[in-house]
Amino acid sequence: MKSWGIRHRRRGLQAALLIGVFLNTAGAQAAPTISASLTGSAQVTSEQEGNRFGCNDKIYAAIDVLDLDAGEHTLTADWIDPTGKTREHIDYPFSGGGTTRITIWLKLHPPKGSTLFGFFNPSMGMEDFIGNWRLLIRVDDDAELETAFEVVC
C-alpha cells in the first residue's frame, strides 16, 4: 500500500510541474526580430545599401523591429570602432507593437587641427576610424543584432 501512495503522489507532483511549466510558457512571448540596413542616405533603398563608407560620410542605419509586443520598449545601439571603442551609444525609448522602423545615424568628425591638412590627405587624424566597424543593436535585452561595415579614406 505504501508503494502505491508514493507512486500516486509522484504522478500528482509530475502533473503539477507540467501544468506549471505550461502556464509559465503559455504567456511568454517570443523575442522580436531585428534587421538593419546601412546607407549613406536617410532614405534607404536596396540599391543604396552597403557596408563601405568614407571618412566624412554620415552613416544611417534603418532598423526594422518585427513581432514586437505592444507596450513600452528601449532600443539600444552601440557604434563600435575598429579599436573596439564605443564611439556612440544610443538609448531610445519608444512604444508600439507589431513592426516598427527606427533610423539612427553616425557622423564621423575628424579631430581638431586635422582639417588643415585634410585637403591633402583625407585620412589625416582619422586612423582610429579607418577599418571594420560594428553596430550592435538591442531591443529590451530580448533581441540582439550585430552588423559590420567598413570605413575607408
CATH number for the region 31-152 comes to 2.60.40.2550
| Residue bearing the bigger pLDDT, 29 or 152 | 152
DSSP readout, 73-109?
Answer: EEEEEEEE-TTS-EEEEEEEEEEEEEEEEEEEEEE--
| Residue bearing the bigger pLDDT, 12 or 80 | 80
Do 38 and 50 form a contact (C-beta atoms < 8 A)? yes
- Range from 34-43, 111-120, 121-130 that averages highest in pLDDT: 34-43
* Residue range 85-97: mean pLDDT, rounded: 96
